[in-house]
Amino acid sequence: MVTLLEYQLDMLKTEIQANDETIARMDEITRNVKQWAIALWTVSVGGALQDHELSPYVGATAAIPLMFWLLDTWHRRIQRKFIWRTMQISKFLNDGGLDKSINLGRIVSGFTLLDPQSRLQRTQEYRDFIDYRRVMAFPSLSILYLGMIVLSFALGLLVGLRP
Cα separation of 150 and 163, whole Å? 22
Torsional class of 154: left (φ above 0), alpha (ψ -120 to 50), beta (otherwise): alpha
Tell me: the pLDDT tens digits for 7-21? 888 888 888 999 999
Tell me: the pLDDT tens digits for 100-131? 777 766 667 666 777 766 666 778 898 999 99
Number of domains comprising the chain: 1
pLDDT of residue 1: 63
- Asked whether the beta carbons of 57 and 48 are under 8 A apart, the reply is yes
DSSP string computed for the chain: ---HHHHHHHHHHHHHHHHHHHHHHHHHHHHHHHHHHHHHHHHHHHHHHHSTTTGGGGGGGGHHHHHHHHHHHHHHHHHHHHHHHHHHHHHHHHTTHHHHHHHHHSS--SS-SS-TT-TT---HHHHHHT-HHHHHT-HHHHHHHHHHHHHHHHHHHHHHH--
pTM of the model: 0.84
Residue type, 13: K
Query: Average pLDDT, stretch 79-95?
Result: 88
pLDDT of residue 140: 92
Query: Average pLDDT, stretch 48-52?
Result: 89
Task: Provide the percentage of residues in the chain whose pLDDT is more than 70.
Answer: 88
Range of the domain at 26: 4-161
pLDDT at 82 over 80: yes
Residue type, 128: D
